[in-house]
Amino acid sequence: MELLQTLLVTIVTLGVLVSVHEFGHFWVARRCGVKVLRFSVGFGKPLLSWTGRDGVEYVLAGIPLGGYVKMLDEREADVPEALKAQAFNRATPWRRMAIAFAGPLANFILAVVVYWAIFLNGVNGVAPIVDGLETGSLAERAGLQLGQEIVAVDSESTPTWEALQLQLLNRIGESGLMTVSAKFPDSDVVHDYNIHLQDWMQGLEEPNPVQELGVKLFVPKLLPELDEVVAGGAAERAGLQKGDLILSADAQSMPDWQTWVQVVRDNPGTALALEVQRGEQVLELSLIPERKLEDNGVAIGFAGVSVAIPSWPESMQRTMTYSVFGAVSAAAHKTWQMSAFTLESIGKMISGALSPKNLSGPISIAKVAGSSAQYGFVAWLGLLALLSISLGVLNLLPIPILDGGHIVYALVEGLSGRPVSEQIQNWANQIGLALVGVVMIFAIYNDILRL
């Protein structure tokens, strides 16, 4: 069932992205007087096709990893004399450039619209409060102190964990000065701390910028308080109930959930004397964890309970609300910010500052799409906007066969007055196709390793 959901969410996600991208080409082509023959979402054998009143063949194909808009073009087939003025190759270089740019632009517009809807609904997050500093770390040497809230990095506001992570990731692989701004609770005085970077996190496969900075952010303590108790499980047989707080097991204090889990795992089939707080009462119960074999054949204990997730202190919760027009401005800024981040990441991957193992392919996209859907519609919308930006940026790269390559061809012709020769275009397209193919294979290889 989960696999089916992931598959459906992935198809819908890619379908939306491709449809919007190709519609951009389609809409501008027709406004530029170019005749469109086919609008296809997906590649391969058509699953569904029909011809509209406008004479365009609309196709839904079986492989949802792209799409295309086929236009009338004398380089691909003979064109009747009466229709030659509507051929793509007869359009001016500037119109061809506009048609090529329209696909990525549509993706950026989609991202702005999606972020606008998210911001209009309000954005929730938690403040990045310093709860621990690693001895000798960059943060400790710079002078950051426990209890401070990190409010900005390089003058960019960081009201939430997500914002902090993004600003720190912007500096991956770099050297130089990074300024972290922080303040104490109930104070308006902001202190700036200068951190000297040297090839920071360069080449790391899974960079964790907050950890590399040497900071542990505050999270509510996970107490051994029970949420769900599995029917018929060891915990239910022992008399445990939802809301119970485990105080001790075999006279050993249970300060947190992890300690409780470890004790249960270490005692399969062994009776544990529990001290449990239930409301105002303190009860004494006996639990015999079930035996469960791991893949390596080692038996572990299993109680059949889940933990009650603690709530964040109100003082640490951040809710950003926007007016209708304020959300438009915030959405445009977010789209620009993520576009710049994507482009910088590509550059750093090429230079070696960012490990190419961070490159993801369709398998990772499918997994993340499925996971985001489980977290709710807003989470899925956030992923849709991010993927739309990535698609837009990637297609604008000056690589033959991509939109960016077509823009370069048109720009050269527009400035020089002469088109790029067919021979050079064919040669460049083969190189571009090979490059894109190699990158795709490497991305899928990374996906498989992650599995």
Closest C-alpha among 287, 217, 222 to residue 254:
222
Secondary structure class of 12 (helix, strand, coil) = helix
Active-site residue (options: 22, 225, 290, 344): 22
Q: Which residue in this structure is represented by tokens 């902090």?
A: 164
- Residue 284 appears among annotated catalytic residues: no
Instruction: Report, in this order, helix, strand and coil percent for the chain, each rounded to 5.
Output: 45, 25, 30
Beta strands of 184-289 (E only): which ranges? 191-197, 215-217, 226-229, 245-249, 252-253, 272-278, 281-287
- Record the tokens describing residue 322, joined without a space: 């926007």
> Would you say 331 and 119 are in contact if contact means Cβ atoms under 8 Å apart?
yes
Helix (H) or strand (E) holding 253: strand 252-253
112 contact partners, CB below 8 Å, separation of at least 6: 328, 331, 332, 335
Which residues, listed in sequence order, are joined to residue 60 by a DSSP beta bridge? 41, 48
223 contact partners, CB below 8 Å, separation of at least 6: 245, 256, 257, 308, 310
- Record the tokens describing residue 116, joined without a space: 């606008």
67: exposed, middle or buried (C-beta count within 10 Å: 0-12, 13-18, 19+)?
buried
413: exposed, middle or buried (C-beta count within 10 Å: 0-12, 13-18, 19+)?
middle
Rg (the chain; Cα; Å): 28
Please give the positions annotated as active site.
Answer: 22
